A = this chain, B = another copy of it.
């Protein structure tokens, strides 16, 4: 499979908190001197400078090793929509890697780098983490600059980080968070107080309709949740309805605005990406405002949830499709893949995806913890506790 779109020679690491860590960059993020293809080989002009967040990481000691494969223009959750070739899970040559940050997740899972940057508009920073058994932090919107990143939906896009442990992902995350006044969607958020007492972990109060292999792993994950915190069954109906809105609502037009001019009949264009995003051209302004009104209603409906839980636990996906299943139904399989991820940016939540129990067939099963924007540290803390890393750190410290 094609993990890398381009490689660069390792430079000497600067001193800093990330000294000696290697990183991969999803190829929609600028690295000076290398083209940012966005998965479209026609984009051959080298980037003049690093993306804001790449500068921060390099200054902190990280060493970039190259640019990774992705669903073209970050439009997909599968990892197969690339003229550079599809990616598959490091656990199975038959099963998809997830996307759109496919190569970044695979590069981390296979040990080629210590961490990697992805982006996440609909779930692209979490689905490939789940399908490759690694950690993916999806920061609150605006917390990490998107200057120097090819937009998908500018108002929703987030830069994310993948690593094999919560601790490594957090080291990178801590460096990535830096207010960038040149990014109009950047914001400074007050950081929520650290968790005290027993965390209240919300879980869906009704079945989610998971694939049977996923379902069994999910049942085990619920047991683990009860060890990590107090489990609170909650209604997630408004969240799941919001997830549907991402592609039934107006946001496709944001992709059309960002890169619609690239979606001509050239063979370099992924036909599925083209057919989906072209629908954005036909949407009207009043449909857009109607979508925002609906989103405002759903956000309001979802708010009471956050009064009774500190974080919400969900599976990342409902199943783990094969490459063949995606080829047979490229749009349908992809849509179902976003059921539990699409709403996170629309509802202004932060998230961390991390490995839950393995499935009976040996494939990884990813779960995610969600919380309102600004509670990034809280969900990262909880993930760390879940994964047993906190105890390890305490043991080392002791």
Q: Which residues of A contact B (CB under 8 A)?
A: 154-155, 181, 184-185, 250, 252-254, 256-257, 260, 280-281, 283-290, 292-293, 296-297, 299-300
Question: Please, how many angstroms separate the alpha-carbon atoms of A300 and B147 in the complex?
Answer: 14
15 additional A-B pairs beyond A155-B296, A184-B299, beta carbons within 8 Å, are A155-B289, A181-B300, A185-B296, A250-B285, A250-B288, A250-B289, A253-B284, A253-B289, A254-B286, A254-B289, A256-B285, A257-B289, A283-B284, A283-B286, A285-B287
Taking a contact as CB atoms under 8 Å apart, the answer to whether A288 and B184 are in contact is no
Copies in the complex: 2
Question: Please, how many angstroms separate the alpha-carbon atoms of A137 and B241 in the complex?
Answer: 37
- Report A196 CB to chain B, min CB distance, Å: 22
Q: Quick one: which of B284, B289, B297 contacts A284, CB cutoff 8 A?
A: B284
Q: Identify the interface centre among A154, A155, A289, A300: most chain B CB within 10 Å of its CB.
A: A289
- Report A345 CB to chain B, min CB distance, Å: 14
Residue of B nearest to A182 (CB): B300
Taking a contact as CB atoms under 8 Å apart, the answer to whether B280 and A285 are in contact is yes
Q: List 25 A-B contacts (CB under 8 A).
A: A154-B289, A154-B293, A155-B289, A155-B292, A155-B296, A181-B300, A184-B293, A184-B297, A185-B296, A250-B288, A250-B289, A252-B285, A253-B284, A253-B286, A253-B289, A256-B285, A257-B286, A257-B289, A260-B286, A280-B285, A281-B284, A283-B285, A283-B286, A284-B284, A285-B288
Question: Please, how many angstroms separate the alpha-carbon atoms of A181 and B297 in the complex?
Answer: 10
For A250, the chain B residues whose CB sits under 8 A away are 285, 288-289
For A184, the chain B residues whose CB sits under 8 A away are 293, 296-297, 299-300
For A288, the chain B residues whose CB sits under 8 A away are 250, 253, 285, 288-289
For A260, the chain B residues whose CB sits under 8 A away are 286
For A289, the chain B residues whose CB sits under 8 A away are 154-155, 250, 253-254, 257, 288
For A254, the chain B residues whose CB sits under 8 A away are 286, 289
- Report A183 CB to chain B, min CB distance, Å: 8
Question: Please, how many angstroms separate the alpha-carbon atoms of A278 and B64 in the complex?
Answer: 52
For A284, the chain B residues whose CB sits under 8 A away are 253, 281, 283-285
Residue of B nearest to A256 (CB): B286
For A300, the chain B residues whose CB sits under 8 A away are 181, 184
- Report A178 CB to chain B, min CB distance, Å: 16
